[in-house]
Amino acid sequence: MSYGLEGREFLGEGARGPTIPPPNPLPQPLRALGMDFGSRYVKLVCWRENRGWTRKKIDTLTFFRDYLKRGKGIVAVDWPRLGLTPPQALVVTGYGKNLLKEHFPTITEIRAHFLGARHAMGLDHFILLEAGGQDTKVLYVKDGRVFDFLTNDRCAAGTGRYLENMARFLKMPLREFAAAWREPVEISHTCAIFGESELIGHILEGMSPERIAAGVNASVARRVLMMVRRYPCRTLVFAGGVARNRAVVQLLRQHQDYQVIVPSYPQFTGALGCCLEARDSFQKEEP
């Protein structure tokens, strides 16, 4: 297990069951595409008329190595190798947007995740928690607008990479680690560096790996609550790869301070927001 889903599936809106294509069907044009260049994965959300939304996820290093073409100051996506037709509108966000902003339209991660979460959940008043591979963002949305936000991009604690490292240290499968929430030991260090030393102490005391894993997940939940409590709202939309950690979600709900909602595809809110932005720009240009 990783904090993401493999392959390509339908998103909610406009999705339809499998159909038998007609003989030699013409390729349907790709109207809009959103790309979120995360630290671990590049997420893509596509929109086609009469077909709706599809999504795809590719390892970030693999994408930069195998799917980007460079030459003479030009950076381009190898669409055929990616299995896609060139989109009529494209918007990019994420870590890779600084590299690509001279070649593709970009928007901030804040706007991308806001647009994607609002569309996915149909809410106008909520707190958005987006915990990804290397950082955590909190957005306060009121009246359908972003009123305030804060980010934590200087400390790895609470991120997907931190949780993966702790699971690796405990030699636990990530799926098993992400299900551990009962009887958590006390974890005082939220630092990714000093956390391992504290885990060693609990191992020497004879604590089970499951309880230690639960303690790590509980420390992440506490850290999240410290970030969101400043905002006067009790609806918490939890997105990003860490939202696939069932233990963290359960521990947040256990506090009963918030209605915790996880979108169907929590890793794809940023890419969905970019795709919505691309679709809007495409539709505005139509006569």
d(CA 132, CA 274): 17
Average pLDDT, the chain: 84
Assign 6 a pLDDT band (cuts: 50, 70, 90): very low
Mean pLDDT of 231-240: 95
Domain ranges in the chain?
A: 32-109+269-285, 112-267
Give the strand pairing for 89-94 and 32-37.
parallel
The Cα–Cα gap between 206 and 203 comes to 5
pLDDT at 174: 92
C-alpha 90/C-alpha 37 separation (Å) is: 13
What local confidence, expressed as pLDDT, does residue 283 receive? 66
| Window from 62-66, 255-259, 272-276, 279-283 with minimum mean pLDDT | 279-283
Q: Is the pLDDT of residue 142 over 90?
A: yes
**pLDDT at position 30:** 85
Measured in whole angstroms, the distance separating CA 184 from the mean position of its chain's CA atoms is: 26
Q: Looking at the DSSP assignment, which residues form a beta bridge with residue 90?
A: 33
Where residue 193 falls among pLDDT bands split at 50, 70, 90?
A: low
Displacement of CA 99 from its chain's centroid (Å): 20
Identify which of 121, 123, 114 has the alpha carbon closest to the alpha carbon of residue 148. Answer: 114
Give the predicted TM-score (pTM) of the model. 0.84
C-alpha 96 chain-centroid distance: 15
Q: How confident is the model at residue 45, as a pLDDT?
A: 97
pLDDT at site 285: 59
Where would I find the beta strands (DSSP E) of the chain?
Answer: 32-37, 41-48, 52-59, 68-71, 74-77, 89-94, 126-131, 136-142, 145-152, 235-239, 259-261
Counting every residue, how long is the chain?
A: 287
Q: What is the pLDDT of residue 134?
A: 80
Q: pLDDT at position 27, please?
A: 54
In CATH terms, 32-109+269-285 corresponds, of 1.20.1260.10, 3.30.420.40, 3.40.50.720, 2.10.109.10, to 3.30.420.40
C-beta of residue 244 within 8 angstroms of C-beta of residue 2 = no
Q: Could you read off the pLDDT of 78-134 as tens digits, one per residue?
A: 999 999 989 999 999 987 677 777 778 899 999 999 999 999 999 999 999 999 888
The CATH number of domain 112-267 is 3.30.420.40: yes
What tens digit of pLDDT does each residue of 20-70 get? 444 444 456 788 999 999 888 999 999 988 778 999 999 999 998 999 888
